[in-house]
Structures are given as structure tokens and as C-alpha cells.
Amino acid sequence: MKTYERISIVGVLLLFVLILAECRKENKNNGNNNQQIADGKQTFRFDTYGDESFWSGLLHLDSAIAGAQNGGYGPGVSPKTALAVGLKVDATALPPDVVAGIQAGTISLDDPATTLALLKLGAVVGVKGTFSSAGKLQAIGVTCAICHSTVDNSFSAGIGNRLDGWPNRDLNVGAIISLTDNAKPVASLLHVDEPTLRTVLGLWGPGKFAAILFMDGKALKPDGTVAANLIPAAFGLKDVKLTTYTGWGDIMYWNGFVANLEMHGKGSFSDPRLNNSTKYPIAVENGFFDVINNPDLITSKLPALAAYQHSIAAPRPPAGTFDATAAAAGRMIFTNKAKCASCHSGPAYADNVLHTGAEIGIDDFEASRSPTDKYRTTPLGGLFTRSKGGYYHDGRFATLNDVVDHYNTSMSLDLTTTDKSSLVEYLKSL
């Protein structure tokens, strides 16, 4: 064998070894990523971060759910009531005898005791019950899934397989908080009386929550209507750098914000921007700009939580829910004539840029409550999952037609009737 032949054989062998080593590394990374995503999924669905001290300790929601008959107070929350306020049931958590019982009507959906049984099975999406060894409900906590998951209704309305990341636009958060017999602490936090608090909670309606109310105390918009935002999608965010309607920060930042300041989990959180008594009087009074808990049940979980959310792609609309030919024409209008793609660009249909209210033809109220003073371009993937409750942060446009009409007027786009309907079909196809 000639020397150069020997060298090239050694070279090829070496390359082979290198490739093998690289493949191993890749596999290991994928393994780690998969593990992280699995951990994040568990956290997203089931972790309360110790928020029971708020939802049960302060608001006594465990006793409200149980009802007087089961050692709590009031009528209790039957499965029918729970479904009526938009809570969802994970059908895969139900054992066959329970499924059979519900189908045969031998398990009553009018009895709060059934709700307790469902909680014991871990079947109520986003609500976690803690039970004593004797089987008594001791505490209730909520998880991210209560707002950011729904079910596919495959068993019956409100009962089915989990759909993580889909906003629960049926969930009436205000009505759920109103179940409390102890509204006083929340009312005093906001410097209002209890009846006022209950009125505001009653005005939110399904699919909405007012996260910034607990920072700035602004329950109403300048026009006197209630200020509450639609629960957004928590999928399709892989390429989204700025989260929330007003771009408060990246996903890790916002997840930490919510877990600490809205769910009242026990973690650590710091944001000097909240230490501003003009803009965020409630946050300053309560030290929300610098929260420390020991042990911290949140911070170490944030990377996995973000990895899980980033792993959820925006779902595709079912075939037949839009006109494909019109959608193809609408795509051209979206890009060219209507200039939508100047902001709704890239894989998430979002430019990761902040815009003033004037740029999109609306008022600045909600923007001005954010440290950014602007609105973030909403990612448009999976729009069909959020057809309930309207569009834009507060649902001000009831339908996609209304959204398109708004842009047509405020941006003087001169769209024809056909342009507009094609554009709507395109939006439905995303």
C-alpha cells in the first residue's frame, strides 16, 4: 500500500470517528431537550408553585367548591357549575367506571361531591386539589393550564383530551374568584370596597383576565368600560421575542411574572420597572417589584417551562374551515396591497417590534399600562383557536371581518369587498 493510500484510509477512519462522536453528542442533546420539554409540560399542567396559600388560604376556594354539604360553605360547585364557568375536564384522567357512570347517569354532574372526586383524579384541567389521607379536600391551587389549555370536547362539551397552549376562552376567571367568601383582602389591595370588586369581577366575562389591574389598580378604561384582556395563545411562540400584548418581556420573564404575581406562587421575582408609584401604585405598595421566597418554587422551573411552550407549534385549522382558493388570493393581499406582512412577518407572523396605538389605529390606554408604552404585533398562527371573545387585546373587534374593516379604514387601504373576504379566508387558514 502506498503512503498516500494509507494516509487517506486513516483520514477516512478519523472522519468516521468524528462523525460518530458528533452523532452521540446530538443524541444526548436531543435527549436532554426532550427531558426538559417533558418536565416543562408537567410544570405547565400540574405545578401550582405553592399558590394554594392564596387560592385556598386567603380566598377559601377549596371550601367554596366543597360546599356546606362537604364541610365547606355555600352550595358548592357541581361539575355542571364548573363546566358553566368554563373549567375543563381531562377525559384521559377518568377511569372506565367513572366514564361508564357519567354515561349511564349514575354519577351525578349536579353534585359537588362529584367535583371533589374529579379533583382527586386530577381530571380538572389547571386545578389541583390536595386531599387528606381521610379523603377530605384540604387545599386548591391553580396551574398555568387553567387559562392556557382547553379540551377537544371529544367526550362531551368541556370534557375531552387536553389541548395545551389553546386559550380557554370559556373560562370565567372573574366568576371563579367571586366564589370567595373573603373578598376583603383583594378589595383592600385595590383600595375598593367588596361590592365594587365583585362588580368588576363580574364585568370581565369569559376568556378574560386583568393582569395589570393588580399592578396599577385601573379596573376601567377611560370610557368607563371594564379593562380586561383576552387570554392569548401560549403556542406558536418559538420565534416570538416579546411576550404579552404590550411586550412586557421575553417568555421567561413573563412566565415568572405570572407565576409569582398573578397566581401567587412562591418564587422570586424582580423588576425595577414596577417600582414606579405613579404608574404601578399597587405593585409598589405590595413590593411586587422585588419578591423573594425561600424556598423558591418557581425560578428553577422556568427554563423547562419555556422549552415546553416553545415546543408547541401553532395548530393548523381543520380542512374545510376556510376557502383555500380565496385564502391563496388573500395571501397576496396580506403581503402586497394591505401591507399586513410589514408587521405580521416571519414564521410567527409577528415582527417582534413594538407599535404605538396610532400605528394600528387604536387608543393608547392598554399600551400606557406597560413599561413599553406600546403594543406588540400579535402572532397570527392558529387564529382559529381564538375565534371566541373577539380580536385585539380586549376583544374590541368581534369578528375577523371587523378587524379587516378596521385596518381598511384606519390605514386607508382601499380594499374591495372581494379583497376583504379573501383576506379573512387567509387569516382563517393560518
Nearest partner of 318 among 381, 379, 384, judged by Cα = 384
The answer to whether residue 179 forms part of the interface with ligand HEC (CB under 6 A) is: no
Give me 193's grid cell.
370596597
Give me 371's grid cell.
413599561
Figure out which of the listed residues 94, 231, 304, 314 binds ligand HEC, where binding follows CB under 6 A: 231
Are the CB atoms for 384 and 291 separated by under 8 Å?
no
The answer to whether residue 243 forms part of the interface with ligand HEC (CB under 6 A) is: yes
Give me the least distance between CB of 217 and ligand HEC, in Å please.
15
Residue with cell 391553580: 142
Query: Which among 65-73, 76-84, 157-165, 373-381 is the span making contact with ligand HEC, rule CB under 6 A?
Result: 373-381
The answer to whether residue 59 forms part of the interface with ligand HEC (CB under 6 A) is: no
The answer to whether residue 87 forms part of the interface with ligand HEC (CB under 6 A) is: no
The answer to whether residue 259 forms part of the interface with ligand HEC (CB under 6 A) is: yes
The answer to whether residue 283 forms part of the interface with ligand HEC (CB under 6 A) is: no
**Cis peptide leading into 79, omega within 30 of 0?**
no
Residue 25 burial (10 A CB sphere; 0-12, 13-18, 19+): exposed
Give me 423's grid cell.
383576506
* Size, binding site for ligand HEC by CB under 6 A: 49
- The identity of residue 3, as a single letter, is T
Cα–Cα distance, 403 to 412 (Å, whole number)? 14
Query: Which among 10-18, 103-111, 195-203, 229-237 is the span making contact with ligand HEC, rule CB under 6 A?
Result: 229-237
The answer to whether residue 146 forms part of the interface with ligand HEC (CB under 6 A) is: yes
* 67 vs 330, beta carbon nearer ligand HEC: 330
Residues making up the chain, counted from first to last: 430
The answer to whether residue 263 forms part of the interface with ligand HEC (CB under 6 A) is: yes
Cα–Cα distance, 131 to 129 (Å, whole number)? 6
Rg of the chain over CA atoms, in angstroms?
A: 25
The answer to whether residue 393 forms part of the interface with ligand HEC (CB under 6 A) is: yes
Binding site for ligand HEC (CB under 6 A): 142, 144, 146-148, 173, 209, 211, 229, 231-232, 234, 240, 243-246, 251, 254-255, 258-259, 263, 305, 309, 338-340, 342-344, 355, 359-360, 362, 375-378, 380, 386, 391-393, 403-404, 407, 423, 427
